[in-house]
Amino acid sequence: MFTSLSNVIKLMVTMKLIILSSALPADNYWNNRAAILHEEEVLSLGGNLTFLPGERSANNILMTLKKKEIDEGFVKPSKFLASNNFIKAKNEIEKSDVFKIIKRMPKGAVLHSHDTAIVSVDWVYNVTFLDNLYVCDSNDKLLLHFFDEPKNDCDWKLLSDLRKNTELLGDLDERIFQKMTMVVDDPDMAYADVDTAWTKFMDVFIFIEPLLTYRPVYEAHYYEGLRQLHEDNVMYLELRSLLPTLYELDGTTYTPLELCEIYKNVTDKFKLDYPDFIGAKLIYAPLRFMSIDELKNAINETNKMKLKFPDFFAGFDLVGQEDKGIPLITYADELKKMSNDIEMYFHAGETNWYGASIDENLLDAVLLGAKRIGHGFAIVKHPKVLKMMREKNIAIEICPISNQVLGLVKDLRNHPANILFSEGYPVVVSNDDPGIWGGKALSYDFYEAFMSLMSRNADIRALKQLAMNSITYSSLNEDDKIKAMDLFNQKWLVFVDELNS
C-alpha cells in the first residue's frame, strides 16, 4: 500500500512539474509566435504576393490610414463604419480616406451584378422626367409606364402634367422616389429580418421594371451602368439579366435573343467611347421559381443566345430569394442536359439556414459544374463542399453589402467570408444590386471587405489580389485574360505612383 501511495505521489509531482515547465517561457516562444503569424499572413488573400517597386511605400500610406480608422473604432465600436448597416454608414464611408484611395485604384471586374440595379437611384429617378411617362395611383398603389396613348386599365395621368400643378402633385414625387430605394432612416428597424428586407427589395424591382424596360431607357440605363463602373475604375462586367420584355411606345416588344443583341450593341458602343474598358458579357438569370417546362424554355433560349453570340453570352444562373425558391436538386436532371459550351454561375448558399435544401444548393451547384458560386454565404458550414470548390478552383462571389442589407449578417466583421479571406480561397468581391440600397459601382463593397472581412493587417496586396482574381475567374478566354491583366498592371502602376505622390 505504501508503495502504491508513493507511486501516486511521484506521479502527482511529475505532473505538477510538467505543468509548471509548460508555463515557463521557452527559448523559441517568440520565434514560434512570429513564424505562426507569418504563416497566417502568407496563407491569407494576397499574402504571398511580393511587393513591387513603389508598392511598399504606397502600402505604408494606405495601412496608416486603415489602422487609424480601425483603432478609432476599437475605442468607440459604434463609430466603426464597417460594423454599421451600409444604408446608415454610406455618407460617412464616403468621407473615409481609405475609401477615397480604394475609389482611385483599378478594381478589375464586376462578376456579380444584376441588370436593373446597376445604376444609382438618382439616375433612375431622373428617368421620371422624360416625355410620355404616365402614372397611375390606384388604391395607394403607384404604377409607372411609358405610353403614346395610355391604356384604359387604370386611371393613367401624364406625370409631366401633374408636375405643373403642385396641388395635384402633392407628395407624389417623394412617394415615387421612396418606392425606388431601400434607403430609410433606420434600416435595422425597417428590415428586421430577411423576409421583410427581401419583400421591400423585390417591391423595388417590380416598381421600376415598367419604367426601365421602355427600350430607349433600358439602353441608356445599361450604358450609364457601364459608365458608372468605368468611372469607378472597373474594367469589365459580367451582368446577370432576367432578360425582361422590352417595349416601344407603339407596342413592339423584344424577345430574349433580341435583348441579348441590344446588350451587345450597347457594350460595343461603350467600348468605342471608352477604349480602356475591356467589355462585358451576359449571364442569363431567370427566377428560381420556374416549372420544369419553363426551365426547358429558358434552356432553349440559352442555347439560342450562345449559338448566335458565342463570345458575348457567358452562361446561365437562377436568381431570387433562395429561401423561398425551388432548390437546385429539383432542376438537376434538366440542368445536366445543358450544353457543355454553356457555363453555369449559380447563386447558392445565400442563406443563414444550415442543413436545409437551401444551403445544400451549394453541393448541387458544385456537382452541376458551376464555374463560380454567387454569394456562397453558407459555404463554411459545408467543409467537404468547400474543399471540392478549392480543388476545382471554383471562385465564390462575395457581395458583402448585399448580405448585410438583405439581413444575413448585421455586423460585417462576423461575415463567414472572413475565413475564406484568411485562408486564401478563390474569391472575388462584387456589388450585386448597388442602386437599390443607395450604392454605386464597386468601391463600397471593396471598402467593406477590406475593413471588416479581412484582417486589420491585410494590406494593399490583398486589394491587388482581389482585382486580379476578378480577371482570373472571369469568363474571358485566356488571350483576353492576358490582355486584361496587362492593362490592369499598367493602371496599377499609375495608381501606386499617384498614391506615393
Question: For residue 306, what is the domain's CATH number?
Answer: 3.20.20.140
Per-residue model confidence as pLDDT tens digits over 233-253: 999 999 999 999 999 999 999
Residue 350 is a catalytic residue = yes
Please compute the mean of the pLDDT values over residues 214-232 and round it to a whole number: 98
**Closest to 119 in 3D by CA, of 438, 461, 400, 471:** 438
pLDDT at position 12 is 53
Give me the residue label for grid cell 429561401: 323
- Position 179 in a domain: yes
Quick check: 26 pLDDT over 60? no
Between helix 194-212 and helix 215-231 the angle, nearest 10°, is 120
In this structure, are 134 and 263 located in the same domain? no
Quick check: 231 pLDDT over 70? yes
Give me the residue label for grid cell 449559338: 307
Share of the chain above pLDDT 90, in %: 86
Please compute the mean of the pLDDT values over residues 243-270 and round it to a whole number: 97
Determine whether 38 is exposed, middle or buried from the number of CB atoms within 10 Å of its CB (0-12, 13-18, 19+): exposed
In this structure, are 468 and 479 located in the same domain? yes
Cell of 349: 448558399
Cell of 317: 444562373
- Position 106 in a domain: yes
Q: Name the average pLDDT for the chain.
A: 93
Give me the residue label for grid cell 472581412: 453
- Position 71 in a domain: no
Please compute the mean of the pLDDT values over residues 131-156 and round it to a whole number: 93
In this structure, are 133 and 232 located in the same domain? no
In this structure, are 260 and 360 located in the same domain? yes
Residue 375 is a catalytic residue = yes
Q: Whole-model pTM?
A: 0.92
- To 5 degrees, how large is the angle CA 47–CA 52–CA 53? 145
pLDDT at position 23 is 52
**Contact assessment for residue 51 and residue 59, using Cβ atoms and an 8 Å cutoff:** yes
In this structure, are 170 and 269 located in the same domain? no
In this structure, are 162 and 231 located in the same domain? no
Binned at pLDDT 50, 70 and 90, residue 24 comes out as very low
pLDDT at position 139 is 80
Quick check: 386 pLDDT over 50? yes
Please compute the mean of the pLDDT values over residues 310-339 and round it to a whole number: 95
- Position 9 in a domain: no
pLDDT at position 25 is 55
Determine whether 432 is exposed, middle or buried from the number of CB atoms within 10 Å of its CB (0-12, 13-18, 19+): buried
Quick check: 186 pLDDT over 70? yes
- Position 43 in a domain: no
The total number of residues written for the chain in this structure = 501
Per-residue model confidence as pLDDT tens digits over 168-178: 777 899 999 99
- Position 4 in a domain: no
Quick check: 21 pLDDT over 50? no
Count of domains observed in the chain: 2
- Position 197 in a domain: no
**Contact assessment for residue 234 and residue 226, using Cβ atoms and an 8 Å cutoff:** no
**Closest to 239 in 3D by CA, of 319, 171, 130:** 319
Quick check: 19 pLDDT over 60? no
In this structure, are 297 and 398 located in the same domain? yes
**Closest to 150 in 3D by CA, of 162, 133, 138, 164:** 133
Active-site residue among 145, 230, 347, 375? 375
Binned at pLDDT 50, 70 and 90, residue 5 comes out as very low
In this structure, are 182 and 317 located in the same domain? no
Element (H, E) at 31: helix 29-43
Determine whether 178 is exposed, middle or buried from the number of CB atoms within 10 Å of its CB (0-12, 13-18, 19+): middle
The residue range of the domain holding 330 is 81-122+213-500
Per-residue model confidence as pLDDT tens digits over 343-369: 999 999 999 999 988 999 999 999 999
Quick check: 4 pLDDT over 50? no
pLDDT at position 116 is 97
Supply the DSSP symbol for 36: H
Give dist(CA 35, CA 41) in Å, integer. 10
pLDDT at position 8 is 47
Strand 343-348 versus strand 372-375 pairing type: parallel
In this structure, are 285 and 296 located in the same domain? yes
- Position 357 in a domain: yes
By mean pLDDT, which of 27-36, 187-196, 346-355 is the weakest? Answer: 27-36
**Closest to 264 in 3D by CA, of 245, 244, 279:** 279
Per-residue model confidence as pLDDT tens digits over 407-449: 999 999 999 999 999 999 999 999 999 999 999 999 999 999 9
In this structure, are 332 and 295 located in the same domain? yes
Quick check: 16 pLDDT over 90? no
Active-site residue among 55, 238, 301, 350? 350
Distance in angstroms between the alpha carbons of the first and the last residue of the chain: 82
Supply the DSSP symbol for 257: H
In this structure, are 307 and 440 located in the same domain? yes
In this structure, are 157 and 231 located in the same domain? no
**Closest to 418 in 3D by CA, of 371, 385, 462, 483:** 462
